Amino acid sequence: MLKYPLILIHGTGAKDNTLFWGRIPKLLKELGINVFYGYTDAWGSIEDNAKLLQLRIEDIIHKTGAEKINLIAHSKGGIDARFLISTLQYGQKIASLTTISTPHHGTLIADYFLNNRTFQSSLAKRILPVLVKIFGDNNPNIYNVINELSINYMESFNQNNLNDPLVYYNSYASAMASKKDDFLYSWAYQYLIKNAGENDGLVPVKSAVWGDKFQLFTDSSRGISHGEITDIKRRKIGAFDIPEIYRKITHDLSKNGF
């Protein structure tokens, strides 16, 4: 069992509910872990989401009396958490940050859309902001978020958000074995495999590596896509039972005293 409470932080285009996190919260609670959601926005900027996390952490510490918090973050959620720790100087209240499929070094998919004429058209800029409001954000900004996931932006971000020595950082990622693994990510997978190598259909594996430890989950016959790693499909993916991955992650954190 973990020493400190745990916050699950979602990425872009997601919300905190059992639809997105599948069976994972239930399993973690059965293990005796005090689990909370981050309640960040689906299309919020890095800074805005980090400030939401700041409020959430203060509330949890007040309610539980815990000295520190463990963070497990998927995708952009890991970047939001890093901004919280480094720029907002919250390292003293964070025991560990575990990132899963986080584009620490950006993703070429973001660069592709930033340079795509259709995506940058006046029509798209009128329609897309309206569409993303279905996620319930107060101030969604799809164009800003995609820019923040670009390679150049993340290069600058990494220079300005160095790891805090008080925090234990570790990272995980999955990879698709072929475009057939997940139709939703098939196009992006093929684009990245040609231009950035092994990937989960959105984030290159090499971009997800961060911190003191890294582990990749994939199989030659059936990989795991960017969405599947959060158990959104609620079933075994190839050889992997997704909730068991999170059991392992929290077990390793517990062994390290977190």
pLDDT at 145 over 90: yes
Please answer whether residues 85 and 97 qualify as being in contact, where contact means their C-beta atoms are separated by less than 8 angstroms: yes
Q: Which CATH number fits domain 6-105+163-255: 3.40.50.300, 3.40.640.10, 3.40.50.1820, 3.90.950.20?
A: 3.40.50.1820
Distance of alpha carbon 220 from the chain centroid:
24
pLDDT at 17 over 80: no
pLDDT in tens, 199-233: 999 999 999 999 999 999 999 899 999 999 999 99
Stated pTM of the model: 0.96
**Predicted pLDDT of residue 23:** 96
The mean pLDDT value of the chain amounts to: 95
What DSSP assignment string belongs to 24-35? Answer: HHHHHHHTT--E
pLDDT in tens, 159-182: 999 999 999 999 999 999 999 999
- Determine the length of the chain: 258
Q: Predicted confidence band at 248 (pLDDT cuts at 50, 70, 90)?
A: very high
Q: Predicted confidence band at 139 (pLDDT cuts at 50, 70, 90)?
A: confident
Ordered by start, the domain boundaries in the chain are 6-105+163-255
Q: What burial class does residue 211 get, using C-beta atoms within 10 Å of its C-beta: 0-12 exposed, 13-18 middle, 19+ buried?
A: middle
Please answer whether residues 80 and 40 qualify as being in contact, where contact means their C-beta atoms are separated by less than 8 angstroms: yes
How far are the Cα atoms of 53, 137, 235 from residue 216, in angstroms, in the given order?
27, 32, 19
